[in-house]
Amino acid sequence: MRLRGIKRSSNVEMRGGSGGSRRAGAKSGLGVAGILAVLAIGYFTGIDVSPLLQGGGVQQESTTSSTGDDAAANFSAQVLTTTESVWTNVFREQLDREYVPPKLVIFSGVTQSPCGGASGATGPFYCPADSKAYLDTQFFQALDQQMGAGGDFAAAYVIAHEVAHHVQNELEILPKVNAARQRASETEANALTVRLELMADCLSGIWARNVKGLMERGDLEEALNAARKIGDDHLQRQAGRVPQPHTFTHGTSEQRARWFGRGYDSGSVGECDTFAAARL
């Protein structure tokens, strides 16, 4: 992705880790590779996998690289700028309304949000209570090394996906779905969440369509590959489990890639209405 000349967004909040270091699995006997694998599952399922890291053994500490963190922060701030430009135009041209961008909190280790604590175990997420997206600086390493979804555009797609949840919040879709989930059974709530996540994938596709001028050869396939790698069915197989559709919260690999492609091909917010779709 060609970001040279793209300014850093001013809507970025930097938060450092406690004590200048990150505890990557205190009291865990998993080893570095095992810890990263467990963290990767947490990143893409939204599940706090902290209990999996509490198994006994030696403490593992890893001090974050300031150089790596700075590069990740700069990249994220530039990608955020592209989302601001795209959604400002899309809101004005398609929805006849003003877009108010989110803040992106880039942190190292752990931090707090109105939606709860954030850490490497919780993964990137959007908190509607403060209109902020939260991103751990070590996320890109897990995306590449543990999920097999490397590439700068794959990382940019995930940032765009979290911003897409903010778009849903701006359009008052998020609070309505959250209210419906609270009244629903667990299986029904999961099904609603899948539709919400697939819509965010479609909205991410609209963003990608509008930054074509910044894309390099292979970028689109990086994004589609990332969408496939973080499908619920793929993640459950990676964890050694038989996929259980009633537990899905993000959609299958095929669904995620297809809805991203739908947004990319159409460029229309109206085409991303997963709640009106008879087939996902």
Share of the chain above pLDDT 90, in %: 40
Query: What's the pLDDT score for residue 95?
Result: 97
Number of domains composing the chain: 1
Portion of the chain with pLDDT greater than 70, in percent:
67
Residue 132 belongs to some domain of the structure: yes
Q: How confident is the model at residue 56 (pLDDT cuts 50, 70, 90)?
A: very low
Average pLDDT score over residue span 71-84: 92
For the segment 34-39, the average pLDDT, to the nearest whole number, is: 39
> DSSP characters for the chain?
---TTPPPPS-EEEEPPGGG-EESSTT--SHHHHHHHHHHHHHHH----GGGG-SSS---EEPPPHHHHHHHHHHHHHHHHHHHHHHHHHIIIII-S---PPEEEEESSEEEETTEEEETTT-SEEETTTTEEEEETTHHHHHHHTTS--SHHHHHHHHHHHHHHHHHHHTTHHHHHHHHHHHS-HHHHHHHHHHHHHHHHHHHHHHHHHTGGG--TTHHHHHHHHHHHT-HHHHHHHTT----GGG-SS--HHHHHHHHHHHHHH--GGGG-GGG-S--
Give the pLDDT mean for 72-96.
Answer: 95
Position 4 in a domain? no
**Domain-located, residue 139:** yes
Residue 3 lies in a domain: no
Q: Is residue 7 part of a domain?
A: no
The boundaries of the domain holding residue 261 are: 12-276
Quick one: pLDDT at residue 32? 35
Average pLDDT over residues 211-227: 76
What value does the mean pLDDT take over residues 86-100? 97
* Most confident residue range from 47-56, 153-162, 226-235: 153-162
Q: How confident is the model at residue 168 (pLDDT cuts 50, 70, 90)?
A: very high
In this prediction, residue 184 has a pLDDT band, given cuts at 50, 70 and 90, of: very high
Pairing of strands 103-107, 110-113: unpaired
Higher pLDDT, 106 or 29: 106
Q: Residue 113 falls within a domain, yes or no?
A: yes
Sorting pLDDT into bands at 50, 70 and 90, what band is 151?
low
What is the average per-residue pLDDT within 67-90? 89
Mean pLDDT of 205-228: 80
